[in-house]
Amino acid sequence: MIGVRVILVRPVHDANIGAVCRAMKNFGAKDLWLVSPKAKLGFDAELYAKHSKEVLAGAKTVKTLADATKGCDLVVGTTGAPNRFRDAEFRNCMKLSDLPAKIAGAKKPAIVFGSEDSGLTAEESAECDFFVTIPANPEHPVLNLSHAVAVVLYELYRSKAKPAYALAPRREVGQLSEFFGEAVDKCGRVRDKPKVKKAFNRALGRASLGKEEAAALLVAFAELAKRHK
């Protein structure tokens, strides 16, 4: 059993959603969330969800990615085009083979897959802690949605890495980001403040902070904030 939440953002085709359900059943995942689906979840969805209709029936539909990631302590985005945006959001893109160890300490990780026709928006990508990409032919790197889900879940099922430590809750990581952002805003010598903040957030995403590490940093950041009021 894989305790991972699969999130499909604006999925277009019923057949793909059904095939995703089948892939989830193959690799022991049950928690499927759909963000503003364009698909109608009709006959084709049920047809392709062969022997996995309970996954389809249990799928939750919400309006935003933020709604779908509530309760998750780690959010991993997926992309077949890591150079799609000039912005450095995708510099946090790791190899699929590194993913199992990266999320092993998470209690409720989520894997986010973008729409078949447009992927994730820049705003949605900013809600992910880091990204993973599947190695593929560079001349045709983007996989079909259901195939991408199957490959990622296979890698997680195959590896089943044991957690080295418990990850810090996303709430605490967010507090670190806020403290740092407030400190940067008060620094007159820092010119490109948004760039510095993004760099710090990318570093946080790569670090996979443990509970004790985050707690120690929060104490230090809070004290620094008091002194610079």
Instruction: List, for residues 50-93, the tens digit of each pLDDT value.
Output: 899 999 999 999 999 999 999 998 999 998 876 655 554 555 78
Do 105 and 127 belong to one domain?
yes
Residue corresponding to tokens 């996303």? 170
Checking if the pLDDT of 199 tops 90, the result is: no
User: Is residue 48 a contact partner of residue 23, using CB atoms and an 8 Å limit?
Assistant: no
Higher pLDDT, 204 or 133: 133
Do 140 and 210 belong to one domain?
no
3-state helix, strand, coil in the chain (%, to 5): 45, 15, 40
Does the CA dihedral 34-37-41-47 come out positive or negative? negative
Do 183 and 152 belong to one domain?
no
Instruction: List, for residues 120-158, the tens digit of each pLDDT value.
Output: 998 998 899 889 999 889 888 889 999 999 999 999 998
Residue corresponding to tokens 């045709």? 140
Do 9 and 60 belong to one domain?
yes
Distance linking the first and last C-alpha atoms of the chain? 49
Please report whether residue 207 resides in a domain. yes
Please report whether residue 42 resides in a domain. yes
Check residue 208 and give its pLDDT.
74
Do 84 and 47 belong to one domain?
yes
Check residue 200 and give its pLDDT.
84
Check residue 202 and give its pLDDT.
77
Number of domains in the chain: 2
Do 153 and 177 belong to one domain?
no
DSSP state of 40: -
**Six token digits for residue 12:** 């277009």
Please report whether residue 194 resides in a domain. yes
Please report whether residue 164 resides in a domain. no
Do 55 and 115 belong to one domain?
yes
Higher pLDDT, 4 or 177: 4
Q: Which of 133, 159, 185 represents a domain boundary (last residue)?
A: 159
Please report whether residue 192 resides in a domain. yes
Mean pLDDT of the region 176-204: 82
Do 201 and 137 belong to one domain?
no
Do 113 and 44 belong to one domain?
yes
Do 107 and 217 belong to one domain?
no
* Confidence band, pLDDT 50/70/90 cuts, at residue 105: confident
Does the CA dihedral 131-135-141-142 come out positive or negative? negative
For position 112, which CATH number holds?
3.40.1280.10
Instruction: List, for residues 4-56, the tens digit of each pLDDT value.
Output: 999 999 999 999 999 999 999 999 999 999 999 999 999 999 999 989 999 99
Higher pLDDT, 203 or 147: 147
Q: Which of 111, 129, 159 represents a domain boundary (last residue)?
A: 159
User: 3-state SS of 116-152?
Assistant: CCCECCHHHHCCCCEEEECCCCCCCCCCCHHHHHHHH
Please report whether residue 89 resides in a domain. yes
Q: Which of 159, 189, 208 represents a domain boundary (last residue)?
A: 159
Containing structural domain, residue 18: 5-159
* Confidence band, pLDDT 50/70/90 cuts, at residue 186: confident
Please report whether residue 165 resides in a domain. no
Do 121 and 181 belong to one domain?
no
Check residue 155 and give its pLDDT.
94
Please report whether residue 92 resides in a domain. yes
Q: What percent of the chain has pLDDT over 90?
A: 47
Please state whether beta strands 31-35 and 5-9 pair in parallel, antiparallel, or not at all (unpaired): parallel
User: Is residue 74 a contact partner of residue 167, using CB atoms and an 8 Å limit?
Assistant: yes
The rounded distance, in Å, linking the Cα atoms of 116 and 224 is 45
Do 91 and 198 belong to one domain?
no
pTM recorded for the entire structure? 0.73
